[in-house]
Amino acid sequence: MKTPDPLFIKTAQSGLLEEKIETARATLARCGLCPRKCHVDRLAGATGICKTGPHAMVSSFHAHFGEETPLVGMNGSGTIFFTYCNLMCSFCQNFDISHQGAGRDVSDDELAAMMLSLQDQGCHNINLVTPSHVVPQILSALEIAARKGLHIPIIYNSGGYDDIDTVKLLDGVIDIYMPDFKFWDPKIAEITCNAPDYPEIAKKALREMHRQVGDLIIDSTGIVRRGLLVRHLVLPDELAGTRDIVKFIRRTLSPDTYVNIMSQYRPCGRAHETPGLDRALSADEYRQALQMARDEGLTRLDRIC
């Protein structure tokens, strides 16, 4: 099988990327990029839930070796951590970044330079972490980086709380979608994120992501080139609704969906405010979650499981 070229290259060459940038940028004037629909004028410096104005904020960027096996390879995943978030989980393990704003404003040129630097380091991809609220800035930086020779796949690593129109705008740009599917129960989503619509939003977003890129394609060297990878963090006391989520993935997306059932939950941030989330996940609870995935017919589970 011929290794596919990153999607954004053709989109940039056709001029369509510039059109997408204009559309996304205009959205910032009355921001509706994400399901929060804050409708503030971010171009004028106003901020909503994500506390982000006209410029993206970045906490750090580096070669990351702690991601899923097919992303990391020998040289790491070129990870860019964006500051703040549109979901704001009370138990976030990066609370200092997502809630407290650790990071700094960067221009689109600076963001493009980060991408090129990671490529120069040999990273296998550009891994955009928490990108949902900075899509216009990402698109603009990608156009700049493409002109300067960026040629590795782009990963959209989100919490799954992504507006369907914004995801559609990314068609032909993103090679690898890596969303979370965090909660099945709207009540849990409301308690932890003030987002009772999370389950329905995530279902729509994941279906569109899968429509665009399909199941995960891994090349002959073991590195991801394109496709959907779904993450699911198992919560104590079955609060995440794991069985329903893996059933949705198997039946609605594809039985060949690559899934990372994650075990690393521990109380962080304001987790103590929610009964059940004030303790770490037990080994038995994790084993049960893995068995649920297998029982539902999912076989492409990440090897770090």
Residue type, 71: L
The confidence band for 4, taking pLDDT boundaries of 50, 70 and 90, is: confident
Q: Is the pLDDT of residue 86 over 50?
A: yes
Encode 147-167: b = buried (16+ Cβ within 10 Å), e = exposed.
Answer: eeebebbbbbbbbbbbbeebb
Instruction: List pLDDT tens digits, range 110-139.
Output: 999 999 999 999 999 999 999 999 999 999
Q: Is 102 exposed, middle or buried (0-12, 13-18, 19+ CB in 10 A)?
A: middle
The confidence band for 2, taking pLDDT boundaries of 50, 70 and 90, is: low
Give the rounded percent of residues in the chain with a pLDDT score beyond 70. 98
Over residues 204-218, the mean pLDDT reads: 98
The confidence band for 1, taking pLDDT boundaries of 50, 70 and 90, is: low
CA pseudo-torsion sign 209, 215, 217, 222: positive
The confidence band for 305, taking pLDDT boundaries of 50, 70 and 90, is: very low
CATH tag for 7-50+57-295 (out of 3.30.160.270, 3.20.20.70, 3.90.79.10, 3.40.50.620):
3.20.20.70
C-alpha span between 95 and 166 (Å, rounded): 25
Q: Is the pLDDT of residue 253 over 70?
A: yes
The confidence band for 3, taking pLDDT boundaries of 50, 70 and 90, is: confident
Give the rounded percent of residues in the chain with a pLDDT score beyond 90. 97
Instruction: List pLDDT tens digits, range 39-77.
Output: 999 999 999 999 999 999 999 999 999 999 999 999 999
pLDDT of residue 245: 98
3-state secondary structure of 250: helix
In 3D space, the residue among 107, 2, 92 whose CA is nearest the CA of residue 57 turns out to be 107
3-state secondary structure of 109: helix
Q: Is the pLDDT of residue 304 over 60?
A: no
3-state secondary structure of 62: strand
Q: Is the pLDDT of residue 303 over 90?
A: no
Structural domain spans, the chain: 7-50+57-295
CA–CA distances in Å: residue 270 to residues 13, 99, 209, 234, 273: 46, 11, 31, 18, 6
C-alpha span between 22 and 137 (Å, rounded): 11
Over residues 152-178, the mean pLDDT reads: 98
